[in-house]
Amino acid sequence: FLNERYGQENAVAAVVHYDETTPHLHYAFVPVVFDDKKSRYKVSAKEVLTRHDLQTFHDDLDQHLKKVLPFYEQGILNNKTLPFENVAEIKKYNDQFNALKNELADVEDNIRAKQALLTITNQALREVDLAEKQIDDFKKDLSKNIFGKTVLKPDDLDRFKGVLATMKKATLQSQYETEGLKQTLGQVKAQLADVQEDYQKLKAAHQTLQADQREKQKMDYVMRDILKNDYGVDKLSHTDVAARYVLYKLDHEELTQNKKVAQSWLKTLTTARADPDTKIAPTRLDRGIEQVKALINRIIELTRDIFKGPSL
């Protein structure tokens, strides 16, 4: 199947890997196409692995396997590879999920920064406490006495006065710094509490979004099962999906005010109308095309009135 699709002469290797639960094949090939302008072959992955090729690959492979292996009834398609997903809905959930992940990452970075600041602050407080203890110990050493009188050598008197003055200055400085650090520590703890509260809210929102996404996937699978087993629809083309999305917007009056968007809607509907394999009723597409044309005319008229300005 792969050699027929991409050319056996372009195949490089086909190797079965057993490094995961299910054995799988790695197929390596050179994407070669013929360049009509230069009358020669060239390498171009963009022209070989087109959007259409990627959209039809799983379905074509599934049909091929069922044809050459009659016992292979289950096929390879599942709720993830069937090609009629609601692209717009999935993109919306993915965008919300990625934005929430980025926001969570920012909060975690903020928490780590606050924790690092707390570590530094606590270390500074410990150093201040140690300095005060050393001062107290030194005072005790100088206060050793015999019969209630302090014992000092005469030549230590001047040194004692200098040390006493230095200790007094250090004590006052330590007390000042301690109060400042304690105040800063209180502020940081309050900020950290707020950040942690925000983190918990974001985490809860994240879990809710994941649960909603799982429920949507279940419903998506149910709809696929109905289409396939009850109506015999194995797939819906990307053209049909895009057209149904536009028709949904029109039916629910979710109209755009952007001319380019409206023109893209018109192109989507006319493309689906020209597709002989479309599953959408032609009358419905015709009605949608007329609605979009009218919408474009209204946008043009509104734009003209805005730029005309007031009459003199």
List pLDDT tens digits, range 71-130.
877 777 765 554 444 555 566 666 766 777 777 777 777 777 777 767 766 666 666 566
- Residue 91 burial by CB count (10 A; 0-12/13-18/19+): exposed, middle or buried? exposed
Kindly state whether residues 206 and 119 are assigned to the same domain.
yes
The pLDDT value given to residue 110: 72
Mean pLDDT of the chain: 77
- Looking at 187, 205, 229, the residue that finishes a domain is 229
Say if residue 189's pLDDT is above 60.
yes
Quote the pLDDT of residue 91: 63
pLDDT grade for 27, boundaries at 50, 70 and 90: very high
* Any domain includes 312: no
Q: What is the model's pLDDT at position 155?
A: 46
Enclosing domain of residue 210:
87-229
| Interval 1-17: pLDDT, tens | 999 999 999 999 999 99
Q: Are residues 146 and 22 part of one domain? A: no
Segment 126-163, tens digit of pLDDT: 665 665 566 566 555 555 554 555 554 444 455 555 55
Give the Cα separation of 270 and 285 in Å (integer).
Answer: 8
Which positions ≥6 away from 97 have C-beta within 8 Å? 209, 210, 213
Residue 176 pLDDT grade (very low, low, confident, very high; cuts 50, 70, 90): low
Chain-centre distance of CA 238, in angstroms?
Answer: 24
- Any idea what the CATH number is for the domain that residue 106 is in? 1.10.287
Average pLDDT over residues 160-180: 59
Rounded to two decimals, the pTM is 0.34
Is 81 a domain residue? Answer: no
Tell whether 82 is covered by a domain: no
Distance CA 288, CA 246 (A): 8
Q: Residue 288 above 80 pLDDT?
A: yes
Q: Give the whole-angstrom CA distance, residue 114 versus residue 192.
A: 6
Same domain, 92 and 220: yes
Q: Summarize the confidence of residues 280-284 as an average pLDDT.
A: 90
Question: Is 69 in the same domain as 119?
Answer: no
Which of 76, 95, 117 finishes a domain?
Answer: 76
Report the pLDDT averaged over residues 259-264: 91
Provide the domain count of the chain.
3
Note whether 133 and 247 are same-domain residues. Answer: no
Q: Which of 106, 110, 108, 52 is nearest to 83 (CA)?
A: 52
Residue 71 DSSP class: T
The domain that holds 58 is classified in CATH as 3.30.930.30
Closest-CA residue to 85 (of 206, 245, 205, 209): 245
Contact 31, 6 (CB under 8 A): yes
- Give residue 312's pLDDT band: very low, low, confident or very high (50, 70, 90): very low
* Whether 91 and 186 share a structural domain: yes
> Which of the two residues, 129 and 197, has the higher pLDDT score?
197
